[in-house]
Amino acid sequence: MSTIEIKKVTKRFGDFTAVKDADLSVGPGEVVCLLGPSGCGKTTTLRMIAGLERATSGDVIIAGQRMNDLSPQKRDIAMVFQFYALYPALSVGQNIAMPLHYEKLSKDETDKRVMNVARIMHLTDVLDRMPGQISEGEKQRLAVARAIVRDPNCFLFDEPLSRLDVELRHSMRGQIKEVLTGLSKATVIVTHDQLEALTMANRIAIMRDGLIEQVGTPHEVFAKPANVFVASFIGTPQMNLVEADLKSFGNGKAAVRLAGNDIEIAADPAVSRLKPSKVTVGIRPRAFTAASEKSGDTIAAQAELIEPMGAETLIHARTSAGGEIRVVIPREMKVKIGEAMHLRPDPKQTHFFGEDGKAVRA
Ligand code: ATP
């Protein structure tokens, strides 16, 4: 069965630990994206799965078999890199057929497989052209076609769309996802683009400094970030993360001093464990409503910068404590620079993080 599992995998380069105790399992037909900032260890993790890098400790298990000591060829994985590595002197059709070379298939069988993959990847019309004569999008599809023409144990993609322009990326995301959905293979995709991860992945593993910080569905990592790092990394505009004093908790409400305001907000009962202490309160820019006047659950702020974003407007507002709060409002709602705002956070979309940075939930 097509599965990928890494157990407590660590990679050290001399004294430097690039990946630490990484655990991840990818089921048949599942697409998992490794997402994180530059240098967090995504590519190193992928290379250890591929066998291009040896794990310092831990286990790499593919299709139920421990692979630590096997060469990349023996792991029977199909990889697509950021740089397509196409054969420039071979036609598109011959490029697709290349990985079948060692399978010693009949010409008929080879042609049949090439045609089938060319059809799936919309390359039928350019089969006789050379790589220099096709577009970037077609080159990308050719790279994927070469990977899926065999029947490998699983697929690994390293920043597969980073060379494409924004529009092409958008359409390729959907196309690759559709193709992968039909193949029932375990797939790992490395990306630093959260939109790519949110749209292509069944689950996302978010990495920082060599550690996997959270693994969850796109919805889970967005709606229930495990810690301040994930909260700040996922979602645009970025979640507001405001340091606050949690004073008390009663009747399901937390009383907090936040951005110069004393407010009461309904919160998860687990938050009562923290009182009294410093907390970080996370509120996404789209999780506010603008109230007409001050009340016990609003934050006072003054509009400082207004950025139209098409259907919505992003407002950078200054609180009386001096911090900035980002708020997204519908385009129809007019706010002027300098205008006083009373921002009411939606309690269901307000996150509490303890002093250790971890989310507090029941
Ligand atoms: P990016 O998005 O920039 O590609 P990444 O998350 O894929 O980053 P890695 O390429 O996995 O990051 O690198 C993780 C860390 O390990 C980085 O600090 C990198 O400099 C370091 N590193 C990677 N390969 C080596 C090596 N061969 N020797 C020493 N350090 C390395």
**226, pLDDT greater than 90:** yes
Whole-number pLDDT of residue 342: 95
Contacts 24+ apart (CB under 8 A), 268-275: 268/352, 268/360, 268/361, 268/362, 269/362, 270/360, 270/361, 270/362, 271/246, 271/352, 271/360, 273/360, 274/246, 274/352, 274/354, 274/360, 275/246, 275/247, 275/248, 275/249
CATH T-level assignment (fold) for domain 4-230: Rossmann fold (3.40.50)
**137, pLDDT greater than 90:** no
**163, pLDDT greater than 80:** no
Distance 210 CA to ligand 1 centre (A): 9
**275, pLDDT greater than 80:** no
User: Nearest C-alpha to atom 24 of ligand 1 is from which residue?
Assistant: 44
Q: Determine the average pLDDT of the residues in 85-98.
A: 92
pLDDT digit string (tens) for 295-338? 999 999 999 999 999 999 999 999 988 899 999 999 999 899 99
Domain ranges of the chain: 4-230, 240-353
Mutate to test the pocket of ligand 1, among 10, 15, 17, 40 (most ligand atoms within 8 A of CB): 40
Whole-number pLDDT of residue 297: 92
Q: Determine the average pLDDT of the residues in 234-238.
A: 94
Is the fold of 4-230 the same as that of 240-353? Answer: no
Q: Given CATH 3.10.150.10, say whether it is the number of domain 240-353.
A: no
Distance 190 CA to ligand 1 centre (A): 13
Taking the model in full, what pTM does it have? Answer: 0.90
* Weakest-pLDDT range from 143-147, 252-256, 312-316: 143-147
pLDDT digit string (tens) for 204-222? 999 999 999 999 999 999 9
Whole-number pLDDT of residue 164: 73
Higher pLDDT, 45 or 85: 45
Q: Which atom of ligand 1 is nearest to the CA of 41?
A: 11
Q: Determine the average pLDDT of the residues in 264-290.
A: 92
